[in-house]
Chain A
Amino acid sequence: MPRRHLLLAAAVVALLALLPLSGSTYLLYLFTQVLIFVLFATSLNLLIGYAGLVSFGHAAFFAIGGYGCAILLRSYGVPLLLAMPAALVMTAVFATLIGALCVRLTSYYFSMLTLAFGQLVWAVVFKWRSMTGGDDGFLRIVSPSWIDTPASFFLFTLVLVTLAMVALWIVAHSPLGRTLMAIRENQVRAGFLGVHTRRVQLVAFIIAGTFAGLAGALFALFNRSIFPDSAWWLQSAEVLIMVVLGGMNSFFGPAVGALTLILLGRLTLELTAFWPALLAIILIATLFFFPSGIAGLLKARGRR
C-alpha cells in the first residue's frame, strides 16, 4: 500500500513539474500556495498523527521561518542561499527552546503550552515594530532574479517541497516515527522499554517546527511580504484543519487536506467573510462523520 502511494506521489510531482508549460499564471500561483501548505500541514501531522500531540501553535514556527528569512534578506542583505538555511537554523533553535517546555507533561499541557507560546511569538512579532514592521507587515521582500518569475518560483518551491516531503516520509517511517507511535499508544510502556519518551517527542517537535519554518520562508518569498497574522492562532487552526480534514492517520492525508481546503477557499470566495465559521463547520463535520478524514474515506472505499 505505501509503495503505491509513493508511486502516485512521484507521478504527481512529475505532472506538477510540467505545469509551467500551461503558461497560466493563475495555476502557477495557486499550486505554489498549495505546495507550501502541503509541506506546512505534513510537518504538523508528524506531531498530531504520529506523536498524538495536538499543537495549537504550529504557525509560530511558520512565522519565525518566514520573518527570519525575510529580515535576513532585506534588512541585512544576506543572499537567499544563506538566508534560508540560517532562518531554518533559527527556527530549529526556537523549536528546541519552546519544545523542551511543551513536552514536559501530559498532552493536555502540550496543547495549552503550544497555544500560549504561539501567541507569545505573535505578540513579539506584533510589538517589535522596528524589526518586523508590526501590524503594517514586513513588505518589499525581493527574491533573487533566478526565481522572480511565477514559473521559476513555482519550480523552486516544487523542488524544495519535494525534498522536504521525502525527508519527512523517511522520518515518519524510520524507527523515530515508530517510536513516536509507540509513545502515543502507551507512554508508560514505551518508557519501560527504555525509550526516553520526552527526548523523542522533542526531536519530533524540532523536526516539525523546522519544516514549518521552511514553509514559512517560502510563503514570505512567494507573497513578497509577511504579516503578524501568519503567527496568529487562526493560522494554526487553518493548518490543523487541513490535517484533520485530510486524515491524520495517513502520511499523505494532510497534503490532500491542504489541497482541498485551498481549492475550497478559492471556490467560495463570496463566503470568505465567514471563512472561520466555515472552517469550524468543516472541522465539526469531520470529527463527527468521518474522523479519519478524506484519506480514511478513500481507504475504506479501496477496501470494499
Chain B
Amino acid sequence: MMYATIQFLNGLSYGLSLFLVAAGLSIIFGVLRVLNFAHGTFYMLGGYVAYEAVSRLGLANGGFWVAVAVSGLVLAALAAVIERLMLRKLYERDEIYQLLFTFALVLLISDVIRGLWGTQVLSISFPPELRGAQDVGLAFYPRYRLFLCLVGGAVAIGIWFVFQRTRWGRIIRAATQDREILGALGVNVPRVYLVVFSAGAALAGIGGALAAPALALKPGMDAEIIVECFIVVIIGGLGSLWGAFIGALLIGQLRSIGLYFVPEWEIVLVYLLMVAVLVFRPWGLLGKREGA
C-alpha cells in the first residue's frame, strides 16, 4: 500500500508538471493554429535559465523562487520577440512554413543552450523550504514533489478561471472559434496572438524551472518532453485543454506503473496507449472530430 501510494504520487507529480507544458502547447495551437515544435525547447531553456539564476543568487532567501520567476519572464520576452519579428510574417503562408520555422527554433535554441552551458548533466538542489519528506498518511513523500502536484493543480484551476471568468479568457476562446469576426468586433487580434504565444512560452519556462530540481538538465531533454507533449495532446485531443489535462495525468500514471513492471521500457506503454487511442478514437478522448 505504501509503495502504491508513492508510485501514485510519482505519477501524479510527473503528470501535472507535464500538463504545464502541454497546456501551453495546446493553447497556442488553439489560438494561433501553429503547432509549436519549440515548446519542449522553451521548457528546457526555462530549466537552464533557472540553473543560471540559482547559481548566481543561491538557493537561500527565496533565491529559487526568484529564479523560477526569471525563467518565466525570460521565456515570455524571448517568445514575444520571436512572434513579433518572425513568426507573425508566416501566418499568411502555408502551414508547412510555420511548422518548419518552429522546428528551426528547436535546432537553434538547443544549440545555443549547448554552447552556453555545455553538454554535462546539470542539476539544481531542492529549495531549502521544501527539502525532506512529508508524512502523507500512508507513506513519507518528498516535499518537493508534493509541491509540484499542488502547483500543477493550481495552474489547471488558474487556467480554467482565466478562460471562463475573465475578459481575456473570453477573447481567447473567441479567437479559437473565428479570428476574423473577432477582428471585426474591434479586438486587436495580432496582440492576442502575441500575448498567447508569450504566455504559453512563459508557462513552459516556469514548468522547466520547477521541474529542474526533480530531474537532470541535459541535452536531448527537449526532444523527450516535446514528444511526450505531442502524445498528451494526441491522447487528449488536439486543441482541447481538458483533454491535455487528462492525457498528462494518464501518461504520468502509466509511466510510474511502467517503471515498476517494465523498467527501461516504460515509454513503450505510453506509446501503446497512444496507438490504442488512434485506432479507436483518433480525434482523442476529448477532441472534436475535424474535417473529413
A interface residue numbers (CB < 8 A to B): 48, 52, 54, 56, 101, 104-109, 111-113, 115-116, 119-120, 123, 127, 187-188, 191, 197, 232-234, 237, 240, 244, 248, 274, 276-277, 279-281, 283-284, 287-288, 291
> Contacting B107 at CB < 8 Å: which of A54, A108, A283?
A283
In the complex, the answer to whether A112 meets B35 with C-beta atoms within 8 Å is yes
B233 cross-chain contacts in A, Cβ below 8 A: 112
Which residues from chain B sit less than 8 Å from chain A, CB to CB? 29, 35, 37, 86, 89-90, 93-97, 99-101, 103-108, 110-112, 115, 223-224, 226-227, 230-231, 233-234, 238, 264-265, 267-268, 271, 274-275, 278-279, 282-283, 290-292
Interface contact B230-A277, CB-CB below 8 Å: no
Give Cα A48–Cα B103 distance, bound, in whole angstroms: 15
Residues in chain B near residue A54, CB distance under 8 A: 96, 99-100
**Which residue of chain A has the shortest Cβ distance to B228 in the bound complex?**
A116
Known: A107-B95, A280-B105. A115 touches B100 (CB 8 A): no
The total of Cβ contacts below 8 Å across the A-B interface reads: 105
Given A115-B230, A188-B292, A233-B223, also A277-B267 (CB < 8 A): no
Given contacts A104-B278, A280-B105, contact A116 B267 (CB under 8 A): no
Whether A277 and B111, one on each chain, are in contact in the complex, defined by CB atoms closer than 8 angstroms, is yes
The 8 A-B residue pairs whose C-beta atoms are closest, nearest first, are: A280-B108, A280-B107, A277-B111, A112-B230, A283-B104, A276-B111, A280-B104, A276-B107
* Residue pair A108, B271 in contact (C-beta under 8 Å): no
In the assembled complex, the Cα of A279 lies from the Cα of B108 at a distance in Å of 8
Contact yes or no, A116 B271, CB < 8 A = yes
A281 touches B234 (CB 8 A): no
Closest residue of chain A to B94, judged by CB?
A52
Chain A residues with CB below 8 A from B104, complex form: 280, 283-284, 287
Which residues of the other chain, B, contact A119 by a CB distance below 8 angstroms? 223-224, 227
How distant is the Cα of A48 from the Cα of B224 in the complex, in angstroms? 24
Residues of chain B with a CB closer than 8 A to A197's CB? 292
Asked whether B274 lies within 8 Å of A283 as measured between CB atoms, the reply is: no
Residues of A within 8 A of B226 (CB): 115
Q: Are A277 and B112 in contact (CB-based, < 8 A)? A: yes
Alpha-carbon distance between A52 and B100 when the two chains are bound, in angstroms: 12
Q: Given the known A-B contacts A120-B271, A127-B264, are A106 and B111 also in contact in the complex, defined by CB atoms under 8 Å? A: no
Residues of B within 8 Å of A280, CB to CB, are 104-108, 111
Contact B291 A287 (CB under 8 A): no
Inter-chain contacts of B100 with A (CB < 8 A): 54, 240, 244, 283, 287
A108 and B108 CA atoms in complex are apart in Å by 22
Residues of B with C-beta under 8 A to A234: 107
**B271 proximity list for chain A (CB < 8 A):** 116, 120
Known contacts A109-B234, A115-B37, A288-B89; 10 further A-B pairs (Cβ under 8 A):
A101-B278, A105-B282, A112-B230, A116-B274, A119-B224, A197-B292, A244-B100, A281-B108, A284-B101, A287-B101
